[in-house]
Structure 1
Amino acid sequence: MLRRLVAAWPKRATIRTDMTQVVGPGPYQHDLLDYPADLLPFAGHPDFLAATEEQRRLVNTLAWLAYNERVIAAEEYVANPTFEKLAHGVFPGLDRFEAKEAVQQSHVDEVWHTYMHMLAMQRTREARGLTAEPDTYTQPVTNRRLYARAAQASEQWERDLLYLLWTAVGEISINKFLDLVAGDQTIEQIGRA
């Protein structure tokens, strides 16, 4: 099974050599939203609905930027350290070349995803005329919960296992969420890429 997974990587990998599709997926359509409105947890809140169209669009854009920052934080602080642990033999059963290759392929994809999210954020800021960027972002609640659980663990293997669990669940969750976002025709093309 690992051999088939590794062999299929060129078809399933998100890393691309055609950078024009990533950095220039087409003209920015200012009438489209940046983030699916129905995914905003407060979309039906009276205060949000009472805001001006310009205010709601700004909040929508900020939600898109925050979403991307959350994904980057999950990849940089949880997934990538987990892939490093996998690559360096922290977990048993990864001695075969095919297993190591699958881990490295997945790690490359994670780093590439971070880069794509950075590009999407920059393109959005430029298109929307947003020049201010926060110095730091708060760690996502999922990361903070992991850190709290890891701090309670008395053994290193328990902390390692928590990171592995968080990575697996996070990757499954983000893939399903990306499917929702990618199918939404009301948002900018870069959000569907």
Structure 2
Amino acid sequence: MAGDNTVQLEEGSVGQMLSKLSALWKSRAAVNAGMRDYSLLDFNPAKSDFSEELLPFKHHPAWQVASDEMKSKCLSYAWIIYNLKTIYIESNVVTPACEDVIKSPPVGSRNRPALQSVMVESLLDEALHTKMSVDACNYIYAMRGIEYLDFTDFNLVTWRNSLLAGCNAEWERRLTRFGIACASETLITDYLKVMAEDRQIQSICHEVTSTHARDEWSHSSVFSFAAIDILRGLSERERKYFKSVVLKTVEMFANNELGAWQAAFSLIKFPDADAIIHDTGSSNEVGIYMDSVERLIERVGLNAPAVVRSQAFNTSMG
């Protein structure tokens, strides 16, 4: 099985892969390519700002009969919602997990320097992604002349906060932070792929998501190999806990964020918005992400027996 092969990787092999990813970062990462001014790209008011395929209510009758003008406004706010959620994920989910490994890498691992390097590099990437999302939002606000959407209650972030509040030990908190980030860095590649390949949307929206996608495809590997190194030292109990966090993250990451949509519909006075919110519910949320997270679980060896060390993830866990 893939998981059996993965979990038996020698520490040196994991270290070599992390070092290769770090070397690739120097040439691959957008942050090393110089800041591009995406606002110089041509703006075409006839183009959509977001891929309609990704709307959770794209098949709803009220959406189907909406005017082109109303649909255009909705797709602009879809771009805003996507980027606001990205900002929160980068800042509140991924950054703290990177900082954990940078400040306090796994005890006993021979890959400490490599782990710290790839996490510092990921942190630099995330800072750029946050700037890209902020700039891309403000560009669409300005070009479309739409009202600002002030929304902060994204489900993945509020669920993470709730889960952390319920942790009884530091090892649970650390594994929770890393597990949610690890799953998110894998799952976001599925979401980005659609817009990164959609050349029918606004140029800036396509270019920003393409740049983001290239970095995140690498981050998925970075977090997977980091997870292999971290999981190597965990007990069966700890591994089961980590796996449960990863699986639950799928549901939270894929959430339709109807609270944000309700706020956006209110701003543009979308007809039958309440019906869309009511009828959409949690439909179409999880399916597209399950294959990716199952591959992640196999890749990091969570379906294989635990390899137990005397110390785990920088503390005594048990």
TM-score by length of 2: 0.56
SS in structure 1 at match of 2:30 = coil
Residue 86 (structure 2) aligns with: 71
Aligned pair partner of 2:35 in 10, 19, 34: 19
Q: Distance in 2 between matches of 1:133 and 1:68?
A: 13
Which residues in structure 2 correspond to 1:1-193 (within 5 Å)? 1-24=17-40, 26-89=41-104, 91-92=106-107, 93=109, 96-130=112-146, 132-134=147-149, 136-193=150-207
1:88-135: per-residue Cα shift (whole Å, max 9, x none)?
1064438632221111101100111101111111111111112x324x
* Structure 1 residues 125 and 44: CA distance shift in structure 2, 3 A: same
Q: How many residues align?
A: 190
| Conservation of the 8 A alpha-carbon contact between 2:105 and 2:115 | no
Q: Structure with the greater relative contact order (CA < 8 A, sep ≥ 6): 1 or 2?
A: 1
Q: CA deviation at 1:17?
A: 4.4
Give the residue type in structure 2 aligned to 1:48: W
Give the residue type in structure 2 aligned to 1:113: H
Q: Considering only CA atoms, is the larger Rg found in Structure 1 or Structure 2?
A: 2
Q: CA deviation at 1:171?
A: 0.8
Indicate the RMSD between aligned Cα atoms, in angstroms: 1.8
Q: Distance in 2 between matches of 1:94 and 1:112?
A: 30
Q: Distance in 2 between matches of 1:19 and 1:84?
A: 24
Q: Distance in 1 between matches of 2:188 and 2:27?
A: 19
| Conservation of the 8 A alpha-carbon contact between 1:94 and 1:100 | no
| Conservation of the 8 A alpha-carbon contact between 1:42 and 1:48 | yes
* Structure 1 residues 2 and 18: CA distance shift in structure 2, 3 A: closer
Q: Distance in 1 between matches of 2:25 and 2:64?
A: 45
Which blocks of at least 5 consecutive residues in structure 1 are unaligned?
Answer: none
Which blocks of at least 5 consecutive residues in structure 2 are unaligned?
Answer: 1-16, 208-318
Matched-pair identity in %: 26
